[in-house]
């Protein structure tokens, strides 16, 4: 199966960590976040990986290489100017298969991706959005949907919301949907999803998920992994 890792952001909210490395290279315990993502994708047979890059691309390319040491194939696309989330995926459309997974390069999760792929294959819609229930939805895209998972509303980072499910930045997408995305800078959450709700289903994940977008979430995630390494399949060397 095929996956796209969106790893082009500047990570400004993670400074000073990201002054010298791109956000996906920040360490979770003793390995870069993006390495964990690649290993997690491989665990669920996503062995054809495309990584979209922007800020300090060579740091990631030099570290991961062609992916052979992880048992996967990795290809890269470096953006000379930021294209946004949807724009970055559109830019690699020539490399994409009919169905593919998209995951943010700042997501740390132990989600069962077999279950996501199975759910996506069970319905006729073009996009499955993975959502997570949170007590505090501030700073996230808020998703509302019915018992069947049909999404009725998506609002990116609302000032106030009575919703409790957020967009995790993980999607299964049918390639045909990309024809609705123009070339150039375009964002999934702001420019695309609100206008294709009839093509979207929500998949509610129960596993762990963290958006490594701020220093507080970064340190909290490292602490949670250190306390429960077995949950994430991580070995901590003494």
* 235 domain-assigned: no
Cα distances (Å, whole numbers) of residue 12 to 8, 53, 169, 208, 213: 12, 15, 18, 24, 9
Average pLDDT, the chain: 91
Tell me, what's the pLDDT at 67? Answer: 97
Say if residues 226 and 237 touch (Cβ distance below 8 Å).
Answer: no
188 domain-assigned: yes
pLDDT of residue 156: 82
How far out from the chain centre does Cα 198 lie? Answer: 22
**Residue whose C-alpha is closest to residue 204's, from 126, 128, 124, 101:** 128
Angle, vertex CA 170, rays to CA 168 and CA 171, nearest 5 = 130
Single out the residue of 154, 126, 127 nearest to residue 140, CA to CA.
154
Query: Would you say residue 34 lies in a domain?
Result: yes
pLDDT at 163 over 80: no
**Of 139, 125, 108, 87, nearest in space to 203 by CA:** 125
Is residue 160 helix, strand or coil?
coil
Question: Residue range 4-27: average pLDDT?
Answer: 85
**Which of 40-49, 56-65, 95-104, 207-216 comes out lowest in average pLDDT?**
207-216
Q: How many domains does the chain have?
A: 1
- Supply the range of the domain harboring residue 76: 2-228
Quick: pLDDT tens for 99-158. Answer: 999 999 999 999 999 999 999 999 999 999 999 999 888 878 899 999 999 999 888 877
Going by pLDDT thresholds of 50, 70 and 90, the confidence category of residue 220 is confident
Q: What is the CATH number of the domain that holds 141?
A: 3.90.550.10
What is the pLDDT averaged over residues 67-75? 97
Q: Which two tokens stand for residue 204?
A: 């509610």
Cα–Cα dist 120/173, whole Å = 9
Q: Where are the alpha helices (DSSP H) in 75-202?
A: 84-90, 113-121
Mean pLDDT of 62-84: 96
Judged by DSSP in three states, 33 sits in helix
The pLDDT of residue 238 is above 60: no
Average pLDDT value for residue range 166-194: 92
Q: The tokens of 66 are what?
A: 């062609």
d(CA 144, CA 128): 14
CA distance linking residue 171 with residue 158, whole number of Å? 21
Report the C-alpha gap between 203 and 188 in whole angstroms.
17
Confirm whether 236 is domain-assigned: no
Residue 238 lies in a domain: no
**pLDDT score for 232:** 79
Asked whether residue 234 is assigned to any structural domain, the reply reads no
Position 71 in a domain: yes
pLDDT at 204: 97
Provide the percentage of residues in the chain whose pLDDT is more than 90: 65
Strands 127-133 and 151-155: what pairing? unpaired
When pLDDT is cut at 50, 70 and 90, the band that residue 2 belongs to is very high
Q: Report the relative pairing of strands 127-133 and 165-174 from DSSP bridges.
A: antiparallel
Q: What is the pLDDT of residues 79-103, one digit of tens each?
A: 999 999 999 999 999 999 999 999 9
178 within some domain: yes
């Amino acid at each position: 199966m095929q996956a796209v890792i969106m790893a082009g952001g500047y990570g400004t909210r993670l400074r000073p960590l990201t002054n010298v490395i791109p956000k996906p290279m920040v360490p979770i315990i003793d390995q870069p976040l993006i390495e964990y993502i690649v290993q997690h994708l491989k665990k669920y047979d996503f062995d054809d990986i495309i990584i979209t890059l922007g800020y300090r691309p060579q740091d990631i390319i030099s570290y991961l290489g062609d992916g052979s040491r992880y048992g996967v194939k990795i290809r890269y696309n470096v953006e000379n100017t930021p294209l946004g989330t949807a724009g970055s995926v559109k830019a690699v459309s020539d490399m994409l298969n009919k169905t593919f997974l998209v995951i943010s390069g700042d997501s740390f999760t132990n989600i069962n991706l077999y279950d996501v792929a199975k759910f996506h294959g069970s319905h006729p819609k073009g996009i499955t959005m993975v959502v997570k229930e949170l007590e505090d939805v501030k700073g996230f895209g808020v998703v509302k949907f019915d018992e069947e998972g049909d999404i009725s509303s998506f609002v990116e980072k609302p000032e106030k919301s009575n919703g409790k499910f957020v967009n995790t930045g993980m999607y299964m997408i049918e390639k045909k949907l990309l024809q609705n995305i123009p070339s150039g800078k375009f964002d999934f959450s702001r420019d695309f999803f609100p206008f294709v709700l009839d093509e979207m289903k929500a998949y509610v994940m129960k596993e762990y998920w963290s958006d490594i977008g701020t220093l507080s979430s970064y340190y909290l995630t490292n602490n949670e992994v250190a306390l429960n390494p077995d949950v994430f399949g991580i070995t901590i060397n003494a």
